[in-house]
A and B are shown apart, each in its own frame.
Chain A
Amino acid sequence: MTARTEQPSGAGAAVANGVPALDARLRVYQMMVEMRDFEKRAYDLFLQGLVKGTSHLGLGQEAVAAGFGAAMRPEDYTFATYRGHNHTLARGVPMARIMAELMGRELGLMAGKGGSMHLTSVEHRMMGSYAIVGAHLTIANGAAWSSKLRGTGEVTVCFFGDGTTNIGAFHEALNLAAVWHLPVVFVCENNRWMEYTPIRSVTAVDHPAADRAPAYGLSASVVDGNDADVVYSVATSAIERARSGGGPSLVEAETYRHGGHSRADPGKYRPDDEVAAWLARDPIPALRHRLLDAGVPEARLVAIEQASLAAVDEATAQAQASPAPPRSLVERDVFADGGASWRR
């Protein structure tokens, strides 16, 4: 049966009595602030027409990406969705490279060939952001399988949304992860809405991910995804479990996106009181208050906040200064010889 833990236990030395060590909490706070500032800037640039096409913001959901990011080791693998700016930042990928990718510039992480929805940095073990709902859960299994066969101790963490729990790939992937006993952690960010439709209107169970996972033999938990301490704690224990041969598990983190689904969507289809209630549970001020209560001097938090804004300014300037990618890239890297030739 689903274990509904609000305060996970056994999280190891990094967490004592459900409270992470101070350095971890500060790292998570810094990550969340940077994610927030980065995405607010990305949204401004979208409105100015400098970020083109589409972008999907995780404003409000930062605690999930940051909590897991802080709990992962450098050799662990991340698989994320098109809503993946934060998960990419969480692996230490330079802001300017991400901003430039959003803006379609040569400096971009993939020189503009992927765009906002496909952020990938193999160097940082950010193994991709995937835009076909559900597919990447099966690919994450493959990375975890490879780690297991190679005996490396790496863990794969795979993020996805609530809407993803109704596509076949989710079910195929959970079953295979369990029967192969893979070192993978599936993280469902349940933000209650798919695009414009609430998940509860299309799903018969309360917890679309955590209620299904046990049927496949995965242990699952539901946690407050807006509580960064809780997320970090559950991440630490789920990752440790996978690393030590305990197999796959699933975490359903309850959260909310502050804005719309994508682009300039204002998200007006959502009830005002629901939005207001979740805005009041913003994960960033929540952790800030708790850090102050724990005796962290405010000046230290202010320094983090100022450095974050400066970093976003600098990243924006670098991205804007970068030229458009050369046209020669169009026919590059279809195949491993670096080219696109299909005939001889």
Chain B
Amino acid sequence: MAEMTYRDAVARAIAQEMRLDPSVVFLGEDVGAAGGVFKATVGLLDSFGPTRVVDTPISEQAILGAAMGAAMTGLRPIAEIMFSDFFAVCWDIVANEIAKTRYMTNGQVRLPLVIRSGNGGGVRFGAQHSQSVENWAMAVPGLKVVAPSTPKDVVGLLAASIRDTDPVLFFEQKSLYSTKGEVPDGEIVDELGRASMLRDGTAATIVALAGMVPRAMAAADQLASEGIDVTVIDLRSLVPLDVTTVATSVAQTGHLVTVEENPRLCGWGAELASIIAEENLFDLDGPIVRVTTPHVPLPAADALEDAAMPDVTKIVDGVRRSLR
């Protein structure tokens, strides 16, 4: 067991899988010699060489097209899209090509590939380098969507994503890169589609993802100091979506609060809320509350960005509104 940052966990997972499987290759902008703009892939070029760790031109379509063609023909590529906002310039390859090809070909083509990307706000980069786009990905049939909150989950879920036979979009929350956590020694492989319950309480169920998880935990601490004990669930992946864990918890607490970094409309919490309302309505003792970033592009100034994103105060207030 060692303490490790979220960013170092990325390199550790990729190295673990590249060591085990010679068909794993890694490509992206500045990922090799520079170790990535977030320094999340330092050391991989030295360990695995320029044939398997490849610096690309600034050509997001060409990067993802190369990953797709390689995955069709026997490799397991990991591609990096530096900032998830840049998915907008290569969304055709993601949404039309990668996501649809297994289906259109009646299962002839398999696409075992991972696209990693720095996602979300909290780092004052402004609207074009800060958006949380996991809800774009979730809206496309054929993609798996994973977003870890801890270094341990980065290793286990990234390894599982690389081994998965389907294309996975792997969202790394940028403000978490410097955070630390304990990571067990040795090979770690987790399972996609399993939420984890981080805190068990009877008053309400808070469901959070990625960068919102530590905030939800802090809100739970504050509520506990007032005698309100809540459950906190880290969803960890949006596709597959672990409805069972959430519904089981809501059956016990009677209250559901989602904490979403994505802009409000069609955020993942809206889907979860609709499922719970449709299938578990009579378990609810109060309204489902969604705490989200408002439907705005993210502003740059620290004061404004902080004001836009869900924080402890808004989450605590959300729980109170559900309990009222």
Contact = CB atoms under 8 A, between A and B. Distances in A.
A291 to B, nearest CB: 36
A175 B62 contact: yes
A144 interface: yes
Contacts of B194: 344
Contact of A138 (B52, B69, B101): B69
Interface string A102-133: 00000001110110001011110001101010
A332 interface: yes
A334 interface: yes
B29 interface: no
A143 B77 CA distance: 12
Interface string A135-177: 1111111111111011000001000000000001100110110
Interface string B268-291: 000000010000000000000000
Given A139-B72, A142-B67, A143-B70, A341 B240 contact: yes
B138 to A, nearest CB: 9
A118 B101 CA distance: 9
Contact of A141 (B51, B69, B164): B69
- Which of B64, B101, B105 lies at the interface centre, i.e. has the most chain A CB atoms within 10 A of its CB? B105
A329 B166 CA distance: 18
Interface stretch (B91-99, B181-189, B216-224): B91-99
A128 B105 CA distance: 8
B62 A169 contact: yes
B109 A173 contact: no
Nearest to A177: B62
Contacts of A269: none
Interface residues on A, range: 35 or more
A307 interface: no
Given A176-B66, A334-B141, A142 B73 contact: yes
A144 B69 contact: yes
A176 B106 contact: no
A334 B239 CA distance: 12
Interface in B91-124: 92-93, 96-97, 101-110, 112
A138 B67 CA distance: 9
B48 to A, nearest CB: 12
Contacts of A156: 69
A110 B105 contact: yes
B65 A137 contact: yes
Contacts of A109: 106
B36 interface: no
Interface string B41-85: 000000000011000110101101111111111110100000000
Given A113-B105, A169-B61, A142 B97 contact: no
A336 interface: yes
Interface stretch (B7-15, B152-160, B241-249, B255-263): B241-249
A300 interface: no
A135 B240 contact: no
Given A110-B105, A122-B109, A143 B61 contact: no
B244 A142 contact: no
A114 B59 contact: no
A175 B108 contact: no
A336 B108 CA distance: 10
Given A128-B101, A135-B61, A143-B73, 13 more contacts: A110-B106, A128-B105, A128-B109, A141-B65, A142-B66, A142-B73, A146-B74, A147-B73, A149-B25, A172-B57, A333-B102, A333-B103, A344-B244
Interface of A: 77, 109-111, 113-114, 118, 120-123, 127-128, 130, 132, 135-147, 149-150, 156, 168-169, 172-173, 175-176, 179, 329, 332-336, 338, 340-344
